[in-house]
Amino acid sequence: MPKSKKRAKAAPASKATAAQTGLSRRSVLGGGAIGSALVLGGGFWGISSFRTYAAEHDLSRVGDGTLAVVQIHDPQCPTCTALQKQTRRALRAFDGCGLTYLVADIKTPEGAAFARRFNAPHVTLLLFDGQGGLHRRVQGLQQAAALEEVFSAHKAALT
């Protein structure tokens, strides 16, 4: 019998604590559901982000039948990062129009080999035809508007 008295005393104390904090089982479980949704959403974003990264760094896509713009890129170079931002901004005008953007990261063996193969330093864009033939180089930081013109002319010349 003493055990049941202890349990009886413990129950009101926990109810008082729940009433004082404003937490109920339902509110805690609801918060868990929101937290789980956020974690799952973050996971899907992470997977999508990784797939985009992997696709952009797949240099075997050069010559797959679509025009390609390949940036020779050093991820630790602020000028390279600025060129990447301007290039992506310029390529928004060509979404779904047959221009593929790829990145040759010179910090990876594949990216460094690609840069050596075309004798291209970082902060360089290489424009390829659908068969993988190099048609143009753009070196140095460029603004998005100028890059749009370059990409437009490249596309018009080859399609």
pLDDT in tens, 41-100: 555 444 445 566 667 889 999 999 999 999 999 999 999 999 999 999 999 998 878 899
List CB contacts of 94: < 8 A, sequence separation 6 or more.
151, 155
Under DSSP, the state recorded for 130 is: T
> Would strands 99-105 and 67-73 be described as parallel, antiparallel, or unpaired?
parallel
Sheet holding 67-73, edge to edge: 99-105, 67-73, 124-128, 134-139
Output the pTM of the full model: 0.69
List CB contacts of 14: < 8 A, sequence separation 6 or more.
none
Residue 37 has a pLDDT of 53
The encoded tokens of residue 12 equal 């009101």
For 38, phi and psi rounded to 5 degrees? -65, -45
